[in-house]
Structure 1
Amino acid sequence: MDSGCEENRQPLIEANSLHDDEEDDQYGDKNSIWIESKKLWHIVGPSIFSRIATFSMNIVTQSFAGHLGNVELASVSIANTFIAGLAFGLMLGMASALETLCGQAYGAKRYSMMGVYMQRSWIILTGCGIVVLPLYIFATPIMKAVGQPDDVADQTGLVALWFIPLHFSFAFQFPVQRFLQSQLKTQILVWVTLAGFVFHFVASWVSVFVFDFGVVGLAIVLGVSWWLIFFGLFGYAALGGCPETWTGFSIQAFSGLWEFLNLSLASGVMLCLENWYYRILILMPGYLDNATIAVDALSICMSISGWEMMVPLAFFAATGVRVANELGAGNGNAARFATIVSVVHSTVIGIIFCALIMIFHNKFALIFTSSPDVLKAVDHMAYLLAFTILLNSIQPVLSGVAVGSGWQSRVAYLNLGCYYLVGLPLGIIMGWVVKLGVEGIWGGMIFGGTAVQTIILLLILVRCDWENEAKKAAMNIQKWSRPSVDQSS
């Protein structure tokens, strides 16, 4: 991998080492920090908005389901969180392979290959969607097997079947989002997701209160809303918004699928191991004494953490794009500088949220409950929530660097070791053996898993040879594209 491409590599780096605003050897002064910050927030701002908008569409669906009845609310929540949620996490992770490929191709000015990469991702994610389809088809027996009441399980199975269109929308929307982000076409994300959210809210209200379509209507509306967002984004790209990077459908999309699948699976596993780790954290307190209070308190804390997580996840996406762009352009030092700026920005925001949690440690749970027992339990967990938010302001940014650099396989193994071989056993020991209850489970999983993973990633970045990473990116671009096909200049 480190040899055999010397002739092709050098012209690529030289041709794409230009910077409009800064020189390669000058980083750290106020001007370069300001320029990099503007580039970063050009991606972060719209990404935060689009993530909150799409996340809120699920909340709207659950809220309207709550007006239909408790069984309807439970079925929609379970189908959304555990059926669609598992597929969502896997396909979102697999789509992040485009942040590596499209980001580096854009930096290297291999523009026409970006559309080919997106089409390859559609093919791979559609195949993944078919493989995961039994989760939706057999949702009812799966829910009964894990102990859900028959009425909830039956209703969940019905909702899951009508969620299948939503499920396949993930395979197309996630790649086109990353395709646009990688070339800094971010403002369109704001307008299209805003329009999608407004449509979703109005259509959900009409479905429930005008036509009385019930949970089936809500499931259909959610799927239609996601597909409309995809068609809006793709329509922008295909109808002139991305003239250099979208040159039409290509038979080349069907070549190199095996290698593309490997990178996509590594990306999916990397992010799924994180996503499923926190889902396990929510389930584990259910086996403790006083489980209801413990689960309620932890759910409140995780809801707060989930909303705040939209910010670091936006930094995850932005960092991946910035690092990939600079590495693709052959600018290792610029990629390193982009990493530092992103980590600092995200950490400062995390410190602010951390301080707010500590200041309002006995108040913020009032948003969700008035139960004295639950409020007391949340108050006791506030310091863990604050530390989790602080860690989560750093860790996703480091994962974004890994995606931008193409380290998905390496980080997937790291996540497996830190989360499931260290964090999870430590949480079990602290919760049941040491008898610290839910705080022990959470503390063990956070300190043993997330904290250790974050420290190791920081050490990897400190020791990283960024110029060598730029050379590897150049070789990967040569591997993934054919110069004779790309007509950009």
Structure 2
Amino acid sequence: METTPLLNGSPPTTLTLLENGDYGPARSFKEVKSVFWIETVKMWKIAGPIGFQIMCQYGTMSVTNIFVGHIGNIELSAVTIALAVIGTFSFGFMLGMGSALETLCGQAFGAGQIHMLGVYMQRSWIILLSSCFIILPFYIFATPLLKLLGQEDEIANLAGKFAILIIPQLFSLAITFPTQKFLQAQSKVNVLAWIGFVTLIFHVGILWLFLFVFDWGTTGAAIAYDITSWVIALAQVAYVIFWSNEGWHGFSWLAFKEIWAFVRLSISSALMLCLEVWYMMSMILLVGHLNNAVIAVGSLSICMNLNGWEAMLFIGINAAMSVRVSNELGLGHPRAAKYSVYVTVLQSLLIGLLCMVAIIITRDHFAVIFTSSEEMQRAVAHLAYLLGVTMVLNSVQPVISGVAIGGGWQTLVAYINLGCYYVFGLPLGFLLGYTANLGVMGLWGGMIAGIGLQTLLLLLVLFRTNWNKEVEQTTERMKKWGGQDISTDKASRCCHDFIQKEAAKLLERIQQEGQAEISTDQGSREQ
């Protein structure tokens, strides 16, 4: 039993650690406070850079919307449809497929199987590049699909042209997401933040150049979006190959081994996240059927854009949560995994409440960033309260999804998402929006009810989780995916420690006996 100091020179804690490095039970307020501080520092050291990097990556889409919004309302609605429907469809699917790496790389790194990380990443590259060709028809036939879904011809035609122009961005995601997960599992997140920041500044520059200097309109916006996305992907790969020494041991044919089993896990991850991402995307499609569709879609897209900024922060926390949980389960620390979850959920809820307050205070003003139309600004202010409630609910849900990815519960969460979103929330929103004639407010209100139900169910699952059992399942998963048995590793480490301790005792005994003999010899000579 031992105590450990807090990180970064903080006062020492009296929290007891077990022999395997896990926390002991936190029974007093002082121990709870110690856990809270330790886990806060650990989580934000990962979540801060990841959240910043993902917000910068999302910023490329948001800034594109902002620049296009000052060209005209039709252009804003069309580009929003292309990015929020077609782009979000592919983003959600590719992010979900890549999220299988969060489970496997995180648990492998925690278990000390670092040599497998590069193999997992290459395997994911292959799967995601193949997935791009499956998604490609949605881009090529975007115009007829959007018309079939009821969008106005003028919006659908321009959105379809924009979707075809951003096909290169789709293929960049197949490289970007696996590389991010590879680095995140090792907590090498600062480099991701720097890449995201530099490329966002670069994106603003080329957007201004293409739209206002060259006057290329929405075509220039699409080209800028493609270039920036590939700069991000290539910069991350360059860092992994040339500067990241851990986990990358060159290209390997092992990437093709057990690939179908890997595909199944990737699909489970994709299904879980896609059901979340596509849920809000479907609301934008439904709004397109309302009267005055340009204002309805535009005002909702501005709200979703702001909600997206908060969502990107929580995707960062989601990623940090999956890293923390998977690493601790890989190390065999059930209580550390549990404590990290509880601390993060509490802090995320507080952030969500702060975001809601900020939106309500600025409800009459924040739309100016996106549009000069006073009619559009009034429509946005009317939706601000629903946006605030959505931000609170979306603050807790991504954290629990991160726990699901870290623990490998993707299939269970996918079923919960399917029931809450598409069996309950979406039909309720349709009834309130169209049957009750409440318009955008009704649609959004019904879908918020679906998010609320999903959050409650996920909290119940979290409360009933047996973390010791999760450690056992992690051991089995490492066996299946090519790692060594964690318990064997621990046994070998314990054996190694035992041998070292016994050797040290033996050496000390020899030294003591030697000193005694020297003393005896000296005494006899004196006599």
In the TM superposition, 1:52-451 aligns within 5 A as 52-65=55-68, 75-146=78-149, 153-209=156-212, 215-241=218-244, 243-288=245-290, 294-362=296-364, 364-365=366-367, 378=380, 381-447=383-449, 449-451=450-452
Partner of 1:12: none
**How far apart are residue 336 of structure 1 and its match?**
0.5
- 191-200 or 178-187, which deviates more: 191-200
Residues 247-274 of structure 1, C-alpha deviation per residue, up to 9 Å, x if partnerless?
1111110011111111111111111111
Checking the alignment, whether the CA contact within 8 Å between 1:430 and 1:436 is kept in structure 2 is yes
Query: One-letter code of the match for 1:401?
Result: V
Residues 110-151 of structure 1, C-alpha deviation per residue, up to 9 Å, x if partnerless?
101111111111111111101111122223433444455666
Query: One-letter code of the match for 1:412?
Result: A
**How far apart are residue 238 of structure 1 and its match?**
1.4
**How far apart are residue 64 of structure 1 and its match?**
4.5
Partner of 2:8: none
Give the Cα separation in 2 of the matches to 1:367 and 1:35: 39
Query: One-letter code of the match for 2:386?
Result: L
- Which of the two has higher C-alpha Rg? 2
Q: Which runs of 5+ in 2 are unaligned?
A: 1-17, 494-527
Checking the alignment, whether the CA contact within 8 Å between 1:100 and 1:403 is kept in structure 2 is yes
Give the Cα separation in 2 of the matches to 1:253 and 1:317: 23
Query: One-letter code of the match for 1:424?
Result: L
Checking the alignment, whether the CA contact within 8 Å between 2:23 and 2:336 is kept in structure 1 is no
Give the Cα separation in 2 of the matches to 1:75 and 1:375: 18
Checking the alignment, whether the CA contact within 8 Å between 2:88 and 2:277 is kept in structure 1 is no
Are residues 394 and 133 of structure 1, via their aligned partners in 2, closer, same or farther at CA, if it must alter by over 3 Å? same
Partner of 1:29: 32
SS of the residue 1:246 aligns to: coil
Query: One-letter code of the match for 1:344?
Result: L
Are residues 67 and 289 of structure 1, via their aligned partners in 2, closer, same or farther at CA, if it must alter by over 3 Å? closer
Give the Cα separation in 2 of the matches to 1:421 and 1:185: 40
Give the Cα separation in 2 of the matches to 1:364 and 1:207: 26
Are residues 75 and 360 of structure 1, via their aligned partners in 2, closer, same or farther at CA, if it must alter by over 3 Å? closer
Are residues 280 and 153 of structure 1, via their aligned partners in 2, closer, same or farther at CA, if it must alter by over 3 Å? closer
- 353-362 or 385-394, which deviates more: 353-362
1:455 aligns with 2:467: no
Structure 1 counterpart of 2:41, from 38, 42, 49: 38
Give the Cα separation in 2 of the matches to 1:454 and 1:426: 17
SS of the residue 2:243 aligns to: helix
SS of the residue 1:458 aligns to: helix
Partner of 1:50: 53
SS of the residue 1:393 aligns to: helix
Give the Cα separation in 2 of the matches to 1:361 and 1:81: 22
Residues 267-297 of structure 1, C-alpha deviation per residue, up to 9 Å, x if partnerless?
1111111111111223324444566665454
Identity %: 47
Query: One-letter code of the match for 2:445?
Result: G
Are residues 80 and 340 of structure 1, via their aligned partners in 2, closer, same or farther at CA, if it must alter by over 3 Å? same
Residues 79-126 of structure 1, C-alpha deviation per residue, up to 9 Å, x if partnerless?
333223211111011111111111111111110111111111111111
Are residues 424 and 61 of structure 1, via their aligned partners in 2, closer, same or farther at CA, if it must alter by over 3 Å? closer
Give the Cα separation in 1 of the matches to 2:289 and 2:224: 36
- 24-33 or 106-115, which deviates more: 24-33
Query: One-letter code of the match for 2:32?
Result: D
- 145-154 or 466-475, which deviates more: 145-154
Are residues 289 and 153 of structure 1, via their aligned partners in 2, closer, same or farther at CA, if it must alter by over 3 Å? closer
Are residues 374 and 79 of structure 1, via their aligned partners in 2, closer, same or farther at CA, if it must alter by over 3 Å? closer
SS of the residue 1:248 aligns to: coil
Checking the alignment, whether the CA contact within 8 Å between 2:332 and 2:471 is kept in structure 1 is yes
Give the Cα separation in 2 of the matches to 1:193 and 1:383: 31
Give the Cα separation in 2 of the matches to 1:104 and 1:25: 23
Give the Cα separation in 2 of the matches to 1:365 and 1:77: 15
SS of the residue 1:133 aligns to: helix
Are residues 474 and 58 of structure 1, via their aligned partners in 2, closer, same or farther at CA, if it must alter by over 3 Å? same
- 368-377 or 406-415, which deviates more: 368-377
Give the Cα separation in 1 of the matches to 2:73 and 2:358: 33
Give the Cα separation in 2 of the matches to 1:381 and 1:165: 34
Query: One-letter code of the match for 1:348?
Result: L
**How far apart are residue 197 of structure 1 and its match?**
1.8
SS of the residue 2:465 aligns to: coil
- 137-146 or 390-399, which deviates more: 137-146
SS of the residue 2:250 aligns to: coil
- 462-471 or 188-197, which deviates more: 188-197
Query: One-letter code of the match for 2:90?
Result: A
RMSD (Å) for aligned C-alpha atoms: 3.0
Q: Which has the higher contact order (CA 8 A, sep 6+)?
A: 1
1:481 aligns with 2:482: yes
Are residues 289 and 193 of structure 1, via their aligned partners in 2, closer, same or farther at CA, if it must alter by over 3 Å? closer
Partner of 1:9: none
- 85-94 or 167-176, which deviates more: 85-94
Give the Cα separation in 2 of the matches to 1:275 and 1:238: 32
Give the Cα separation in 2 of the matches to 1:165 and 1:352: 37
Query: One-letter code of the match for 1:461?
Result: L
Checking the alignment, whether the CA contact within 8 Å between 1:17 and 1:329 is kept in structure 2 is no
Residues 326-368 of structure 1, C-alpha deviation per residue, up to 9 Å, x if partnerless?
1111111111111011101111111212233344455555655
Query: One-letter code of the match for 1:283?
Result: L
Partner of 1:468: 469
**How far apart are residue 156 of structure 1 and its match?**
4.0
Checking the alignment, whether the CA contact within 8 Å between 1:89 and 1:271 is kept in structure 2 is yes
Checking the alignment, whether the CA contact within 8 Å between 2:149 and 2:285 is kept in structure 1 is no
- 355-364 or 173-182, which deviates more: 355-364
Give the Cα separation in 2 of the matches to 1:259 and 1:17: 36
Are residues 432 and 330 of structure 1, via their aligned partners in 2, closer, same or farther at CA, if it must alter by over 3 Å? same
